Amino acid sequence: MRQMILKELIQNRDSFISGSQLAESLGISRVAVWKHIEALKKEGYDITGVSGRGYQLKDNGIIIPEEIKAGLAQQLIGSQVYYYPYLDSTNEALKRSIKDHPLEGTVYVAGKQAEGKGRRGRKWESPPGGLWFSFLLRPTLPLPQTALLSLVFAVSLVKSMDVFSGLPCQIKWPNDVFCQGKKIAGILLEMSGEIDNADYLIVGIGINVNVRTNDLPPAIGAISTSLLETSDREMDANEVLLTVLKDLDRYYRQFLKNGFSDIRLEFKSRCLHLGNAIETTRGQDIIRGINTDIDEMGNLMVQCQDNVVRISTGDVKVLN
Ligand code: BT5
């Protein structure tokens, strides 16, 4: 019943619908309507009740799973889609659901996250207006191939971001998406299982869709951008998610079928710092040099003064 009330509110979103209208169309009492509305509010839906007018659901980028599913046809990524107005982290929520054996390709989307995670224990700011989601894969690939997926999905995401930002976007190795020199999206891969036998892989993606970077903590706002700010228009989060999921699925299939070679070339052509001076680390060592290549295993090749250093994990700082 709660889902039916939600459906009615979504259909009338941003306008009021009276309690008696809801009660009548669903065949329940007004008190029952009120109880369900209170439960929806607890889940995190932004519903205002005004006496004499009824209830209004504020649309902060609510994802409608049926709409997404209907647009996806037969693809793997998006086999199931769940939307939650509020979560700690979509990666964590999807991880907790593993015990219930979710289908491969299941997607969890959150309206906002209290504890959005970046890589290496960093925080990901996740206010309303962004697209914060994770999906589940069970690849049967050797570990180095599984690790390449982080670059594969970056190429996919950069393509989707071009479409919505209206600008050519770029990738900072291994998988940050940049637009006009600022970060617009990030990816976090988490794996469970044994080496060469991944039990599951959770891919978390954060996209600043209708986020105002002024509303982020200043230090992060200064280095970030959003689709709203690059394109100067509010986006329909459902449309963005649909396109992004289609692209991810297409690139995943291409990778499984043909490997990394062609995708590597795309990665290189979109890489923010290829041919530039960069700084990165290997263990305790700080490595400075020219990033000359990204190899077949996705490693960063850095030409230092007298040798070439291969970097397989870490962060890149662009020096010029
Ligand atoms: C990432 O980490 O870029 C991976 C971000 C993945 C977020 C998604 S949201 C859905 C899913 N559920 C989760 O809990 N996480 C995933 P990293 O490369 O470590 O970048 C983190 C750094 O980006 C932070 O230290 C900040 O400097 C910056 N940052 C934080 N929030 C940001 C935002 N909203 N936009 C742009 N930059 C941000």
For ligand 1, is residue 293 a contact (CB within 6 Å)?
no
Coil, helix or strand for 248? helix
What mean pLDDT value characterizes the chain?
94
Q: What is the pLDDT of residues 58-77, one digit of tens each?
A: 877 899 998 999 999 889 99
For ligand 1, is residue 298 a contact (CB within 6 Å)?
no
Residue 1: its pLDDT value, please? 83
Q: At what angle do helices 237-258 and 261-270 cross, to 10 degrees?
A: 130
Task: Provide the strand spans (E) within the chain.
Answer: 47-50, 54-57, 81-87, 107-113, 131-137, 170-172, 176-179, 182-194, 197-207, 277-282, 285-294, 300-303, 308-311, 317-318
Length of the chain in terms of residues written: 320
For ligand 1, is residue 114 a contact (CB within 6 Å)?
no
Closest ligand 1 atom to 117 CA:
14
Question: How far is the C-alpha of 99 from the C-alpha of 78, rounded, in Å?
Answer: 19
Test site for ligand 1: of 124, 187, 211, 212, most ligand atoms within 8 A of the Cβ: 124
Q: Residue 45 carries which side chain, given as an amino acid letter?
A: Y
Question: How far is the C-alpha of 224 from the C-alpha of 212, rounded, in Å?
Answer: 10
Between residues 158 and 143, the one the model is more confident about: 158
Residue 60: its pLDDT value, please? 74
The CB density around residue 21, as the number of other CB atoms within 10 Å, is: 15
Closest ligand 1 atom to 211 CA:
34
**167 with 179: CB under 8 angstroms?**
yes
pLDDT at 198 over 80: no
Q: 14 pLDDT band (50/70/90 cuts)?
A: confident
Average pLDDT (78-87) is 96
Coil, helix or strand for 286? strand
For ligand 1, is residue 102 a contact (CB within 6 Å)?
no
pLDDT at 315 over 70: yes
Q: 13 pLDDT band (50/70/90 cuts)?
A: confident
Closest ligand 1 atom to 186 CA:
3
Q: What's the pTM value of the predicted model, to 2 decimals? A: 0.94
Ligand 1 center from residue 20 Cα (angstroms): 44
Question: How far is the C-alpha of 248 from the C-alpha of 268, rounded, in Å?
Answer: 18
Please name which of 126, 135, 42, 131 lies closest in space to residue 88, comparing C-alpha atoms.
Answer: 126
For ligand 1, is residue 208 a contact (CB within 6 Å)?
yes
Distances (CA, A) of 57 to 120, 123, 272, 293: 37, 29, 41, 50
For ligand 1, is residue 64 a contact (CB within 6 Å)?
no
Between residues 225 and 320, the one the model is more confident about: 225
